[in-house]
Structure 1
Amino acid sequence: MSTTSSRTKVTATATGDEPRPRIARTTGVLLLVSTGAFLVAATVLSMTFDWPDILREPANVVLPEFADGGTGLVWTWFAVAWTYAILLVPILLLPAALDRRDDVALRAATFAGAISVVLALIGFLRWVFVVPPLADAYVAGGVGARTAIAAAWTAQHQYGGALLGEHLGQLLGIAWSVTVSVIILRTRVLPTWTGWLGLIASALYLVNQGDILATAVPNFPVWDLGGLIGSYLWAVWLIVLGVLLLSRRPQFTSR
């Protein structure tokens, strides 16, 4: 590094005018965009389809309600799915954004986080490609046909929704956020309170597994409020990460 270049960087650091790392800025923007867009789409879905409470209702409630929603409801589910899918990109970029590309634990967590998004995407897109024909057939069919369709609905709902999208998808996502939070606490690459917030959000989000397991294990303990608070706090944590990455400044080392 030349003397002139070194002096320029030292001066920039002293004045606080150095450019923010592009990768950190991009990651921060994508975290904010993906989380914000998903919250908007999910809010619309909640208002029009009583999501997520309707997920635990039987076929004779869900399928007619879905059919009544028409094409607009299908597109709402499409928006929910792909706004959440955007989260895959900042998860993959985060190790570089934190200047920890060689951190083995973070690399493993990144893989888990990426898989969690894919599994959630599969769970969401069921409502675009699998549920519509089931709902239409259920509404148009007789008693015998409805019984068979209800069985098909339950099978795909438990496999694609409860197992893949909710159980495995959420567990892997929580594993990612816990690992990132612990790394923040150990390295102070971001303010330590961010790590504690991530751990608290992850712990509360884990409570939602009770609601999922209750679909297969009768009388399994469920605390609905814990899962609800945890999911929203997890989203807040993602937004906080995005804001901090946007304001993060590079660390220059002398040579």
Structure 2
Amino acid sequence: MVSPQKSLFTIAGWLLIAESLLIFVPLSVLGSAINWPKSLSDPADKILPLLVEHSSAVRFGYLVYLIYSILFWVIASLTIRVLSNEETDSIWLHVANGFGIASTVARCLGIIRWLVAMPALATLYTDPTISTGTRESIAVVYRALNDYAGSVGEVLGVSLFAGLWLAIVSLRILQTRILPRWLGFLGLISATLLGVQLARLFGVDLGAFISISVSVLQLWFLAMGIVLVAKAAKVERNLSAKY
């Protein structure tokens, strides 16, 4: 007999583990090609030629990052199902699900610029036949688009919406005790670190702090996934003993 709870724990657990590890693909590919994510703040004359020179790697890296961002919505929804404990009328879980969707949409909007707009700007910028004035105009467009889409994807998508989702989920863990309480505390720490990144909207340079906050979030994904897979195995053992 297959337990629905075991199936939910197993699927959610392995997808959370996959999400925690998948981020290393764009980090490796884009890091090697364009020194990502540090290059997000580089000027046009430095980054645009690199986009042309490493176009295949950039496209592959950002496609994987797009998949990672879409997968976030899946794990966000499954995590909420795990914590709902068959309760369907919890307003806060509905709110958390909304933040999960908003985070995914904002992330994807931010990433799409690197798959469509930025390669087009890079091709124009590196065209030897264009004038210096045109090249300077392209640099201005690049800066404006990068600042805007970056704020949508990284500040709103990750720092705000994902942070709020994680905060609600973590409080739910502490409230229901369906999962170990330390996961709730770790989640609140991660959500707080993500929230601090909102200071970027006010021109605060956080430097390496961004990498730290994202690393803690990935650690939470991994820990949550391992716990759920272990709980699925426990449910299986209990069913085997029962029957």
Question: Same fold by TM (over 0.5)?
Answer: yes
Structure 1 contact 205–228 (Cα < 8 Å) conserved? no
**Offset at residue 20 of structure 1 (A):** 5.3
1:49 aligns with 2:10: no
Who is 1:126 aligned against?
Answer: 113
CA distance in 2, matches of 1:190, 1:35: 19
Structure 2 contact 19–221 (Cα < 8 Å) conserved? no
Residue from 172, 176, 180 that aligns with 2:169: 180
For residues 155-206 of structure 1, the C-alpha deviation after alignment (integer angstroms, 9 at most, x for no partner) is 22122222x1012102100000011011111111110000110111121222
1:150 aligns with 2:139: yes
Q: Structure 1 stretch 149-158 or stretch 137-146: which is displaced more? A: 149-158
Who is 1:3 aligned against?
Answer: none
Who is 1:4 aligned against?
Answer: none
1:168 aligns with 2:156: yes
SS at match of 1:223: coil
Give 5+ residue unaligned stretches, structure 2. none
> TM (normalized to structure 1)?
0.82
CA distance in 2, matches of 1:167, 1:36: 22
Who is 1:87 aligned against?
Answer: 72
Who is 1:78 aligned against?
Answer: 63
Who is 1:21 aligned against?
Answer: 6
Q: Structure 1 stretch 127-136 or stretch 44-53: which is displaced more? A: 44-53
Larger RCO, structure (CA 8 Å, separation 6 or more): 2
Structure 1 contact 182–195 (Cα < 8 Å) conserved? yes
Residue from 85, 89, 103 that aligns with 2:90: 103
For residues 116-165 of structure 1, the C-alpha deviation after alignment (integer angstroms, 9 at most, x for no partner) is 01211111121111111100100113201111211221222122222x10
Q: Percent identity?
A: 28
| Structure 1 residues 223 and 154: CA distance shift in structure 2, 3 A | closer
CA distance in 1, matches of 2:96, 2:180: 20
Structure 1 contact 35–87 (Cα < 8 Å) conserved? no
Who is 1:198 aligned against?
Answer: 187
1:66 aligns with 2:60: no
CA distance in 2, matches of 1:81, 1:63: 20
Question: What is the aligned length?
Answer: 230
CA distance in 2, matches of 1:137, 1:63: 9
SS at match of 2:54: helix
| Structure 1 residues 101 and 246: CA distance shift in structure 2, 3 A | farther
Structure 1 contact 119–168 (Cα < 8 Å) conserved? yes
Larger C-alpha radius of gyration, 1 or 2? 1
CA distance in 1, matches of 2:109, 2:146: 11
Residue from 72, 96, 104 that aligns with 1:117: 104
CA distance in 2, matches of 1:22, 1:85: 21
Who is 1:14 aligned against?
Answer: none
SS at match of 1:21: helix
**Offset at residue 19 of structure 1 (A):** 8.2
SS at match of 1:207: helix
Q: Answer 1 or 2: which has greater helix percent.
A: 2
